[in-house]
């Protein structure tokens, strides 16, 4: 059962009065579930918890969360988000028909913060097949906070999205300038179809004189077609921030030595990779910091 662990994390920052209210609501919902009461509790979080307060997590708790769901973490969450996720885990204890109907209804009327909490809870909820459709719909939004809740630091898409949906998620992340290094499973879910689509996107943007994120090449590194080899050659020759570093990371991953001719040109970057100073994650962090 997830909610006791989450409750302990929330309880360290939240007011005692708020936690007493939450405990009472959880007990009532578990004793005699009432859909209306759940709605009021879910929305009532905003009147009792502090949206400005971030929860803190111990190393031991991180390990427990990881054991419950690989990749799941609550670091940086506010009290609103965690309190609502706790309530959603209680909802998921109900029979499937009640759980699914209630979740869809809550999502249909949820405000932005409530939507963020709902999508953040998906890794912990049962019936992932049912949730995939809801998550795919969220991935189409242009509301950044909602998109981030499903796409970034959320293990659900990598674990459950079919290839087409995953590829669309990566492409949408680039379209709206979201940091790919924060997508869990970004390396494990790379595939040849995605690599081709990313190369096509880069060519479209180059033709229009638009910026191509260096992170785009991360999912191409193990799928070096002749076209992508030419793309990496082009990227290696630019002075735009992060581009040479991205090219070097692709070269470093090239097990077939198709890019060996670029090693001398990228010697400094390759040394940084070998020393651990440069990685896809460090590059993503640097690009994100520079964009702020």
Handedness of CA 182, 222, 205, 263 (dihedral sign): positive
Element (H, E) at 135: helix 128-138
Task: Give CA–CA dist 128/32, Å, rounded.
Answer: 25
Count CB-CB contacts under 10 A for residue 88: 24
Query: Of 133, 135, 132, 127, which is closest to residue 96 (Cα–Cα)?
Result: 127
142 CA to centre of own chain: 15
Query: Of 58, 56, 122, which is closest to residue 84 (Cα–Cα)?
Result: 122
Element (H, E) at 99: helix 96-109
Cβ-proximal residues to 271 (8 Å cutoff; 6+ apart), any chain: none
Query: Of 53, 52, 74, which is closest to residue 5 (Cα–Cα)?
Result: 74
Supply the pTM of this predicted model.
0.94
The residue with tokens 């070998």 is 274
User: Residue 41 class from Cβ within 10 Å (0-12 exposed, 13-18 middle, 19+ buried)?
Assistant: buried
- pLDDT by 10s per residue, the chain, length 292: 567 899 999 999 999 999 999 999 999 999 999 999 999 999 999 999 998 999 999 999 999 999 989 999 999 999 999 999 999 999 999 999 999 999 999 999 999 999 999 999 999 999 999 999 999 999 999 999 999 999 999 999 999 999 999 999 999 999 999 999 999 999 999 999 999 999 999 999 999 999 999 999 999 999 999 999 999 999 999 999 999 999 999 999 999 999 999 999 999 999 999 999 999 999 999 999 998 8
């Amino acid at each position: 059962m997830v909610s006791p662990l989450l409750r302990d994390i929330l309880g360290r920052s939240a007011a005692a009065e708020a936690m007493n209210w939450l405990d009472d609501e959880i007990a009532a919902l578990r004793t005699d579930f009432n859909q209306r009461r759940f709605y009021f509790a879910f929305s009532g979080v905003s009147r009792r918890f502090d949206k400005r307060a971030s929860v803190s997590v111990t190393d031991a708790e991180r390990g427990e969360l990881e054991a419950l769901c690989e990749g799941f973490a609550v670091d940086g969450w506010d009290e609103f988000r965690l309190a609502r996720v706790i309530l959603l885990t209680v909802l998921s204890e109900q029979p499937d028909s009640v759980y699914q109907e209630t979740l869809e209804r809550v999502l249909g009327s949820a405000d932005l913060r409530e939507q963020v909490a709902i999508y953040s809870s998906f890794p912990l909820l049962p019936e992932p097949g049912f949730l995939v459709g809801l998550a795919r719909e969220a991935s189409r939004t242009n509301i950044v906070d909602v998109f981030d809740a499903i796409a970034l630091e959320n293990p659900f898409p990598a674990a459950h999205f079919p290839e087409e949906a995953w590829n669309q998620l990566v492409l949408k992340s680039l379209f709206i300038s979201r940091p790919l290094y924060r997508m869990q499973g970004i390396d494990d879910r790379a595939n040849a179809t995605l690599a081709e689509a990313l190369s096509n996107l880069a060519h479209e943007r180059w033709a229009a004189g638009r910026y191509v994120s260096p992170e785009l090449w991360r999912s191409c590194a193990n799928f070096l077609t002749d076209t992508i080899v030419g793309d990496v050659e082009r990227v290696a020759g630019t002075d735009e921030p992060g581009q040479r570093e991205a090219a070097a990371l692709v070269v470093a991953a090239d097990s077939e030595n198709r890019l060996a001719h670029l090693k001398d040109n990228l010697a400094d970057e390759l040394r940084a990779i070998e020393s651990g100073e440069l990685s896809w994650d460090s590059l993503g962090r640097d690009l994100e910091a520079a964009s702020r």
